[in-house]
Amino acid sequence: MSATSPAPAPAAPSIAELEEQERRLTLPHFDHDDAWTLGSLLVELARQRRAPVAIDIRRGGQQLFHAALPGSTPDNDAWIDRKRRVVERYGCSSYLVGSRFRAKGTTFEDSSRLDPDTYAAHGGAFPITVEGAGVIGTVVVSGLPQIEDHAMVVEALERFRS
């Protein structure tokens, strides 16, 4: 695959696989410099794939990194906010939250009782979890199909940890 070829579409992970990703991707620490490094890594991955995404990293209530790549739109920023709120409320990835509702034979929109204009349990938002501190922030990608948004965040966190 060339550096500009799109990545193959990932297979949908199971709930157990999603939960394992979150356990495995717990970080020893996360500060402003880490946000820059992780965000820059996501930008690099997105540029290699010519992915029209927006990227957002927050710790607590502070935005530490934001990038909007060519082809992204203000709608991506709205999706970022909606997916981020799901992580902040449930403490796990937005894709995992949506998957748990689907496993029960329903949807987040139908059963969560939360405003779909404010919350979106679609893939792409992932908790930043620090050992001994729990969830301290979020990393979000928006612009691709939800499974690809999620997979890009997971790939970047895996590279960031190594």
Residues 35-49 have a mean pLDDT of 98
Whether the per-residue pLDDT at 78 is higher than 60: the answer is: yes
Q: Could you report the per-residue pLDDT of 24-40, keeping only the tens digit for each?
A: 999 999 999 999 999 99
User: Domain limits of the chain?
Assistant: 15-161
| Per-position DSSP letters for 40-51, written without gaps between them | HHHHHHHHHHT-
What would be the CATH architecture of the domain defined by 15-161? Answer: 2-Layer Sandwich (3.30)
Question: What percent of the chain is modeled with pLDDT above 90?
Answer: 91
C-alpha 86 chain-centroid distance: 11
Give the CA angle between residues 23, 78, 154 to the nearest 5°.
25
What letters, b where the CB count within 10 A reaches 16 and e where it falls short, cover 92-102? bbbbbbbbbbe
